Amino acid sequence: MKSILLLFIAVFVLLFNGSLSAQSKKELRIQNEKLSMEHFLLQAKFDSAKVAGVFLQEQLDAKTTEAEKFERQLLMLEADFISYFDTTKIDSVLKDKAIAWNDTLVHDQEKMLDLEEQFVNTIVDGEEISVIKDQYKKYIAFLYKTEIKYKEMAPFDTKDTFRKALLDLLKAFISAAEEEYAEMVMIYSKETEDLTDADYDRWAVITSNADKKEQLANDLFLLKQRIFAAEYHFKLKD
């Protein structure tokens, strides 16, 4: 009688556990399906936001390009207008001072471009990373030093066109050095076997960004230089 009771209890427990296990599996399956659906919806939202972000960035880039072109055109018109219609007589002493001022700014601009070229060449020539970093430090130190120099320097005249133009130029080149060039050095510091496709893609992007940033700034600087030269009636060297 005792053995029959034990057998009955064993069968009851087995059946109960089997029912509980089936119920648990069903709940887990429902929960898993729910999580899968939530993941699908989140991924869909992320993809949609990503597409929207790319679209907005393209629109912004297009508007920025239009604004840059418009600014160039305005500066060119201003330079041409001054050249053709400004008949103000300039004292020869003041004219010589303007030429000397122009030469001072151009000297520092050319020095900046020379140091940048030396830095870039260390990468192109495949120099050791220590050499590249050293040249980068020299380049960016010159940028900082020159920016401070012209911020503290007195304006040449009340318009202060040319000094501000050089400061804008320095600001753009400092931005490229701190962002794009710093990232280049970081990527170049990696071992060859550690480089990924993303690194190579990123390299192309930051190179393009640096070129665009600096090209625009240099174009605007040269146009403002034309305006300064026209205001003081001297010709720029080709």
Angle, to 10 degrees, between the axis of helix 129-152 and the axis of helix 92-124? 160
AA letter at 123: I
Question: Tokens representing 119?
Answer: 């830095």
Task: Report CA dihedral (138, 143, 148, 151) to the nearest 10 degrees.
Answer: 160
pTM of model > 0.75: no
Round the average pLDDT of the chain to a whole number and report it. 80
Decide if 139 contacts 115 (C-beta within 8 A): yes
Residue 106 has a pLDDT of 96
Residues 6+ apart with CB under 8 A from 202: 183, 187
What is the CB neighbour count within 10 angstroms for residue 116? 22
AA letter at 131: V
Residue 79 or 2, more confident: 79
Residue 195 or 36, more confident: 195
Residue 30 has a pLDDT of 72
List pLDDT tens digits, range 38-84.
666 666 655 655 554 544 555 545 445 556 655 555 555 555 555 54
pLDDT at 33 over 50: yes
Give the integer Cα–Cα distance in Å for 12 and 93: 114
Residue 86 has a pLDDT of 56
AA letter at 84: Y
Residue 37 or 50, more confident: 37
Q: Angle at the Cα of 135 (from 105 to 101), degrees rounded to 5? A: 5
Residue 125 has a pLDDT of 94
- Please state which of the four CATH numbers 1.20.120, 1.10.3470, 3.30.365, 3.30.70 is assigned to the domain occupying 90-231: 1.20.120
Question: Tokens representing 79?
Answer: 């330079």
Residue 85 has a pLDDT of 47
Question: Tokens representing 7?
Answer: 């057998």
What is the CB neighbour count within 10 angstroms for residue 168? 14
AA letter at 45: K
Helix (H), strand (E) at residue 191: none
Q: Which of 72-76, 103-107, 227-231 has the lowest mean pLDDT?
A: 72-76
Domain boundaries, the chain: 1-85, 90-231
List pLDDT tens digits, range 186-204.
999 999 889 999 999 999 9
List pLDDT tens digits, range 143-179.
999 999 999 999 999 999 999 999 999 999 999 999 9
What is the CB neighbour count within 10 angstroms for residue 235? 8
Phi-psi region of 235 (alpha: psi -120 to 50; beta: other; left: phi over 0): beta
Question: Tokens representing 16?
Answer: 């109960």
Half-sphere exposure of 97 (CA within 13 A, CB side): 8
